[in-house]
Structure 1
Amino acid sequence: MRRWSLAGQMLVLQLLVVAVTLAGATVAVSVLANQLVEAEAMASARAAAASVAASPDVQTALDDPSPTLRLQPFAERVRVDAGVDFVTIMKPDGTRYTHPNPAEIGRPFLGHIQPALEGRTFTEIYTGTLGPSVRAVAPVRAGERVRALVSAGIKVDRVSARMRGQLAWTGLIALLGLGLGAAGTWLVTARLRRQTHGLGPVELGRIHEHHDAVLHAVREGLLLVGRDGELTLCNDAARLLLDLPADAEGRHVAELGLAEVLSASEERIHLVGDRVLAVNSAASRLGTVVTVRDHTELQALAGQLDAERGFAESLRSAAHEAANRLHTVITLVELGRAEQAVAFGTAELRAAQELTDRVMGSVREPVLAALLLGKSAEAAERGSELVISQDSELDDELAELGLDARELVTIVGNLIDNAIDAASRVEVHLRGDSSGLVLRVADNGPGLTGADAFARGWTTKGDGHGLGLALVGQAVRRLGGTIEVDGSEFTVRLPVPEPAR
């Protein structure tokens, strides 16, 4: 069986709330109206009784031998004029002088008269000859003596009739309010139905649970930035990759230091802390959706691949040059100049062997040695000279010391690449022992200044990449080292990590 939608449940609930509210208001108004009508009737009766008791005509008529003859017409006139149902004038003992029904004249008054005999005007509801009535009893004074009593009243039936009229209007207003409330509730629920697509609370709760599970389970960082620049949503991966605080949601991206990272409209690489992040932004109806992917490992592998590619390119170039030299030797032999061919081949072999011996003699770490050989060949092909300093000494115990060769390839390779691009002569110094590693790359180029050289985007080549030096700075920070720049000389100092306990 299909469950009620959230909009349908809201409609029923709101109608019940409106109905209960209006019912309560109607009851309260009815009680208040009844009290007001009853109080008005008592006030009318009291005013009529007090005015008759204070009339001089009553005092004069009481002196007659037969007061009824004058008091009965007077009481009836007052009854009609005041709009009450009876005006009874009586002796202090309760014997009636007047009554709307002449047959009741001379009979005892039905009701309480003691407070009036004591000189006080009072009101009460009492059942007399005309039925239940709201009545007032007032004394007729002659100095300090009470000569007679006056009672005026309105029948409860008349009060009830007026009350029923008030209730009819109250009910009509309540029905009108209920109709307006129902119409307003229907409009609200119709809008809610459109926004929730007719789903019920269970379905909405399940969708929220799925959304929350997916949002926090994906490895990519996901952020939603409002049109005002306020971060409205971020998942766990985004908090980890961007190092966001727990209260990041609800704060402006500029306050979080993410304005530059999140401003790009296309995918770009950014360095955030020790991470290489691919950040992509796309506009949406709610603002800007930003995805963040961790490219740290990929960038490190790309750096190693670049080194291997450079080494392979160097080997290709060396093979090409070797082929040229071999053709030269063969041609010299064919021309009968064997001695010159031997001399030429021996010189080339000696030069190549000297380069290899110099590199391998100074740098016995195989990965770095291969990198330096490749860079030497690359520099020679590009018209530059790569020199390994005479006092360089680096053994093959880097792995035992805890220095990652991959990180060193990133540092050395990018520094040499930048130096080759900027100068015609590059000198590399490498020296390591149990206390750490010192790496120095210097060239005869113009050099650079400023602490921003290791920020992403800084470049002197004008191509807008500027990632090499930033990757160097990042790798040095990961290894806990320092880097110094003095013009065209870069000095990197890397400590030996402490052994894990």
Structure 2
Amino acid sequence: MTAGRVSLARQVLVLQLLVLTIVIAAGTVLAIVDARRDSDSATREEVVGIAVSLAQARSTADALQSADPTAILQPETERIRLATGMDFIVVMAPDRTRYTHANPELIGQLFSGNIDQALAGETFTETYAGSLGPSIRSVTPVYDDGGAIVGLVSAGVTRARIGEQVTRGLPIILGITAAGLAMAVVSSWLLSRRLRRQTHGMAPDELRTMYEHNDAVLHSIHEGLVVFGVDSPDVADVVNDEARRLLDLPAGPVRRTDLPESMRDLSPLSIRDEMHVTTNRVLVVNTDPVEFDGRVVATVLTIRDHTELQSVMGELDSVRGFAESLRSQAHESANRLHTVITMVELGRYDDAVQFATSELALSQHLIDRLMGSVHEPALAALLLGKIGQAAERGVELSVSEETALASSAPLSTTEAVTLIGNLTDNAIDAALSSADAWVEVTVHEVDSQLVVRVADSGPGLSTEQFAKATGRGYSTKEDHRGLGLALVSQLVARHGGTIVAEQEPEAAVVVSIPRTGTRGRR
């Protein structure tokens, strides 16, 4: 972290502690105020109950009508006052003259306070600053047998006593406050520690700058990038624009099921330059685990577009095949020419003519048959070249008599070369595993469909192997070879065709592409 900058975790800690302290302090004040209010309410109920009970007692009315009310009432009211915790209980005449009081010196003097409501027959409470200081008091009338008011009773508790009661409850409130504040400090510290670990102690400005830079880099690089976190392995944490383009991913969150099927179960361990074929592209895929503090936190999937390069490589392979075919034919022609010359030198003229014309007639017959049945010169040349290549590798390659093709439509010439060339190369490789190696190619039109069938003497592919081969360039070959069937499958899918593997009566791959009707996406 840059010197002088406060980390995000520390800022959050300070802010959280400040907010919690204010909230707890406000709660404490409210608790004290509420306790004071509850205490006042309870005091009002208590003074009313005591005053009314004393006023309704028959002995109180009789004492008020006696010759010396003080002598009778003062001892009794003091006993009740001390028993109930009242600060004063005053029994008075309707003219305010006190007959009883906690301070005997005030007996005979006038009661200070409001009595009008009591004289009107009501019981009421008020807060009043009397002779003992501010107090909560109640005043209620005393009736004789005839219903006339013969006196009043007032009971009260001073504010000082109420304050003492509230103060006695303060330690509990303050203890709860302290415990809450301690818990707030501990929880804030734990949260700050977790946040510091997650943000690596960086300040908000540093986090913002890093996010802006990372976002700009992710959207500008020309390599697809998908990141899956260990905690959420089924939903990508990061997907850049190039990855969405290369994998045709939808907008919004990307799930693992949105990836091409061959990429859904990739190993979380390192993978280097693995070839994957999607409907429209050939992709080079790498995966790398990302470690932090000795544990794997994510898996990074990088994707490069290999489509154009693969197309160029395919064309280069075709040209190389043609060149190899021409080389082998030139070599064979040189051998034949030397043979003819030797025969002439030995005077075997008839044998020389017969040898030269028989080989020429055989080659010319094959060329004439292919050019007559296959009207695409590039395809005819491809098949002738493959025949030579196969022969050089010890494989007999033949073009069936059923082969007849006026046009490669709906395939372009390049697509047709890719299709037939890859199927033929795979068949030659497979046939090499048998003692009597042979390959047979058939290209014709059946029920408005372009059908290509390439059979060989090899063992064929199982259903599982064929699914892998057409899905992702599965092969035991090195150097990223073995994409042939995957490229063929990609091409067939674009044109809405089908590709199947047969094992009876011989191993074969059959491709059918409709010449009319709906075509796949190109």
TM interval, shorter chain, is 0.7 to 0.9
Q: CA 1:439–1:307 in 2, change beyond 3 Å: closer, same or farther?
A: farther
Q: Does 1:189 align with 2:197?
A: no
> Match of 1:66, as an amino acid?
D
Q: Distance in 1 between matches of 2:398 and 2:163?
A: 115
1:426 to 427, 433, 440: 440
Q: Does 1:312 align with 2:318?
A: no
- Range with bigger deviation, 187-196 or 365-374: 365-374
| Match of residue 245 from structure 1 | 250
Q: Distance in 2 between matches of 1:392 and 1:480?
A: 22
Q: Distance in 2 between matches of 1:168 and 1:242?
A: 68
- Range with bigger deviation, 369-378 or 18-27: 369-378
Q: Does 1:270 align with 2:270?
A: no
Q: Distance in 1 between matches of 2:61 and 2:208?
A: 85
Q: Does 1:474 align with 2:494?
A: no
Shift of 1:355: 4.6
| Match of residue 236 from structure 2 | 232
Identity %: 44
Q: CA 1:392–1:453 in 2, change beyond 3 Å: closer, same or farther?
A: farther
Shift of 1:188: 1.5
User: Could you tell me whether the CA contact under 8 Å between 2:469 and 2:475 is conserved in 1?
Assistant: no
- Which residues of structure 2 form unaligned runs of 5+? 291-295, 432-436
Q: TM-score, normalised by structure 2?
A: 0.78
User: Could you tell me whether the CA contact under 8 Å between 2:90 and 2:101 is conserved in 1?
Assistant: yes
Q: CA 1:440–1:45 in 2, change beyond 3 Å: closer, same or farther?
A: closer
Shift of 1:203: 2.0
Shift of 1:295: 2.9
- Range with bigger deviation, 449-458 or 347-356: 449-458
Q: Distance in 2 between matches of 1:489 and 1:131?
A: 111
Q: Does 1:384 align with 2:384?
A: no
Q: CA 1:70–1:391 in 2, change beyond 3 Å: closer, same or farther?
A: closer
| Match of residue 86 from structure 1 | 88
Q: Secondary structure at the match of 1:151?
A: strand
Q: Does 1:414 align with 2:418?
A: no
| Match of residue 302 from structure 1 | 313
- Range with bigger deviation, 91-100 or 274-283: 274-283
Q: Cα deviations across residues 468-489 of structure 1 (Å, max 9, x unaligned)?
A: 3342232234356666888758
Q: Distance in 2 between matches of 1:489 and 1:194?
A: 57
Q: TM-score, normalised by structure 1?
A: 0.81
- Which residues of structure 1 form unaligned runs of 5+? none
Q: CA 1:150–1:484 in 2, change beyond 3 Å: closer, same or farther?
A: closer
Shift of 1:31: 1.4
| Match of residue 67 from structure 2 | 65
- Range with bigger deviation, 126-135 or 215-224: 215-224
Q: CA 1:463–1:493 in 2, change beyond 3 Å: closer, same or farther?
A: closer
User: Could you tell me whether the CA contact under 8 Å between 2:410 and 2:515 is conserved in 1?
Assistant: no
Shift of 1:68: 2.0
| Match of residue 221 from structure 1 | 224
User: Could you tell me whether the CA contact under 8 Å between 1:389 and 1:427 is conserved in 2?
Assistant: no
Q: Secondary structure at the match of 2:263?
A: coil
> Match of 1:301, as an amino acid?
V
User: Could you tell me whether the CA contact under 8 Å between 1:264 and 1:280 is conserved in 2?
Assistant: no
| Match of residue 44 from structure 2 | 42
> Match of 2:212, as an amino acid?
E
Shift of 1:112: 1.2
Q: Secondary structure at the match of 2:386?
A: helix
Q: Secondary structure at the match of 2:423?
A: helix
Q: Secondary structure at the match of 1:457?
A: helix
Q: CA 1:258–1:365 in 2, change beyond 3 Å: closer, same or farther?
A: closer
Shift of 1:71: 2.5
1:202-221 paired onto structure 2 within 5 Å = 202-221=205-224
2:143 to 141, 144, 147: 141
Q: Distance in 1 between matches of 2:169 and 2:150?
A: 41
Q: Distance in 2 between matches of 1:5 and 1:37?
A: 48
Q: Distance in 2 between matches of 1:171 and 1:428?
A: 96
